Amino acid sequence: MNILLADDHWSVRKGLKQLLEVEFPDAQFGEASSAPEALDLLSRHPWDVMVLDIFMPGRSGLEVLHELRQQYPSLPVLVLSSAPEEQLAMRVLKAGASGYINKRVAPEELVKAVRKLMAGGRYVSAKVAERLALEIGQPDPLPHETLSERESYVLRRLMAGKSIKEIAKELSVSAKTVSVFHTRIWEKLGVRNDIELVLYMTKHNLPL
């Protein structure tokens, strides 16, 4: 059994590995601290399951997930995130993830999720399963659900207090490019400035 752990924090990877080693003593582990490292390991070795942090620097985990689904459609991917489930769970599941859990869940839930993916199933919490049921028959997405992966990343970083220049440096693009994303976010959410943007986030119970 081969498990690939992709997270930019060494301490998180170490913790995940220690937890999973107890339950899967014969497993072989691979570790990646960035999207390029993860994709390189995927190209060089066969993996049975991948645990992917959605908030790695540079290319977002969602972008990596889209690429994984194209190149390795049968690979089970369990997405980890520190964000509330209501913010990202639906997006990553629609992007092709086999499961989604928050990093703050109990260790036994992580093990349960990996076991379910290894058995060919999918894993979501009861809360996410309930929302999935509620969304049936509601095809029209909310404005923030129409944002591209890069736009969503820029929005999260803006709400975290990052400047245009700081975000540009994180993404290795120009400040002008980030400004274009910023403007598109306003247009898609129907707001005219960042004050209205904060009000929109508050109205929809999205993290600031």
Point out the domain boundary residue: 135, 167, 192: 135
By C-alpha distance, which of 98, 103, 107, 14 is closest to 50? Answer: 98
The verdict on 109 and 177 lying in the same domain is no
The verdict on 85 and 157 lying in the same domain is no
pTM above 0.75, yes or no: no
pLDDT (0 to 100) of residue 163: 94
Please count the structural domains in the chain: 2
pLDDT (0 to 100) of residue 85: 62
Which residues does the chain have with pLDDT short of 70? 60-61, 84-87, 126, 128-140, 208
| Dihedral sign of CA atoms 124, 128, 131, 137 in order | negative
pLDDT (0 to 100) of residue 5: 95
Point out the domain boundary residue: 104, 135, 166: 135
The verdict on 147 and 131 lying in the same domain is no
The verdict on 129 and 33 lying in the same domain is yes
DSSP H/E element including 79: strand 77-81
Task: Report d(CA 207, CA 163) in Å as an integer.
Answer: 17
Point out the domain boundary residue: 135, 155, 177: 135
The verdict on 65 and 96 lying in the same domain is yes
In a domain? residue 52:
yes
pLDDT (0 to 100) of residue 208: 65
The two structure tokens encoding residue 40: 């390189």
Query: Which residue(s) pair with 29 in the sheet?
Result: 3
CB atoms within 10 A of CB 185: 22
The verdict on 94 and 164 lying in the same domain is no
Task: Report d(CA 32, CA 41) in Å as an integer.
Answer: 8
**CATH value at residue 92:** 3.40.50.2300
In a domain? residue 72:
yes
The verdict on 149 and 77 lying in the same domain is no
The verdict on 127 and 150 lying in the same domain is no
The verdict on 125 and 28 lying in the same domain is yes
In a domain? residue 208:
no
Task: Report d(CA 202, CA 208) in Å as an integer.
Answer: 8
Tell me which residue range forms the domain holding 90. 2-135
The verdict on 175 and 79 lying in the same domain is no
pLDDT (0 to 100) of residue 6: 92
Residue 88 contacts residue 53 (beta carbons within 8 Å): no
For residue range 27-77, list pLDDT tens digits in order.
999 999 988 898 899 998 899 999 998 877 777 667 778 888 888 888 999
| Dihedral sign of CA atoms 133, 137, 143, 147 in order | positive
DSSP 5: E
Amino acid, single-letter form, for residue 173: V
